[in-house]
Structure 1
């Protein structure tokens, strides 16, 4: 008959067979390339290959970009003295132009001031001459007016007007009171 030891050995064998079947089934699932860990390993291998390829491509692009950047930096370094010289030249020319224009403006301002003073003097002289001529002609005009009033008026002639005879005298307003000219001091070497 079966001894107790044989029964225990049989149970142990049966348990081991079931355990091996479960492990075998799990191992098959693990190696399954569609659904198991094998599929994950295959996907990771493909992803690693893709990443490696992208890394190689990006490294090549980066090297090309770095080379282009290096060339551009070299060109910039070569152009820097030219730009500095150009800026310095433009600044110098702007200052020279400013000085020239400033001198021209000052000369023009001085000339205009002198012309204005000459015009004032000329206007005053013209006014004096006109007044002098008017005063010289006054006795003659008064004599003509008296003779015209005392002369008999022929019949049918128009009545003379009492207005003063028109002269060809230009009336010019007297010059404004002169004020000190602020530009005259600058032109004379002042401020």
Structure 2
């Protein structure tokens, strides 16, 4: 009886050893940096780092653009106030009639018509 128990114990130990060997091979293929999930995790980690750097640069650029826009808006509001004051002050100015066109110089002979010799020769 003890011999049967010993045989079963050795068989169980051999089975467990074989199972551990198979799991070790699967795990090494799983963690392979070129083909397995380990490579995918490494690539994703690098992409996350790149995206983090890009996001920080975009935040800095957006902050600078925001400051620039705030300054431009302030300037535009001050110019708008000045324009409103100018338009309001234009209502106080009396309207003046438009100046008449300057008189044409009168010639003592009236209008003068001249014929060019080139035009007569081409006909």
State if a TM-score over 0.5 links the two structures.
Answer: yes
Which residue is equivalent to 2:5? 5
Which residue is equivalent to 1:81? 81
Q: Structure 2: where are the runs of 5+ without partners?
A: 98-123
How far has the Cα of 1:87 moved from its partner?
A: 2.7
Shifted more, 72-81 versus 57-66: the winner is 72-81
Let me know the Cα RMSD of the aligned residues.
2.3
Distance 1:7 1:46 in 2: 52
> SS at the partner of 1:83?
helix
Instruction: Decide which structure has greater helix share.
Output: 1
> SS at the partner of 2:40?
helix
Q: Which has the higher contact order (CA 8 A, sep 6+)?
A: 1
How far has the Cα of 1:93 moved from its partner?
A: 6.4
Higher radius of gyration, 1 or 2? 1
Q: How many aligned residue pairs are there?
A: 97
Q: Does 1:52 align with 2:70?
A: no
Distance 1:87 1:22 in 2: 89
Distance 2:36 2:66 in 1: 44
TM-score (ref. length: structure 1): 0.46
Which residue is equivalent to 2:115? none
Distance 1:55 1:7 in 2: 64
How far has the Cα of 1:80 moved from its partner?
A: 2.3
TM-score (ref. length: structure 2): 0.68
Q: Structure 1: where are the runs of 5+ without partners?
A: 102-191
How far has the Cα of 1:19 moved from its partner?
A: 0.9
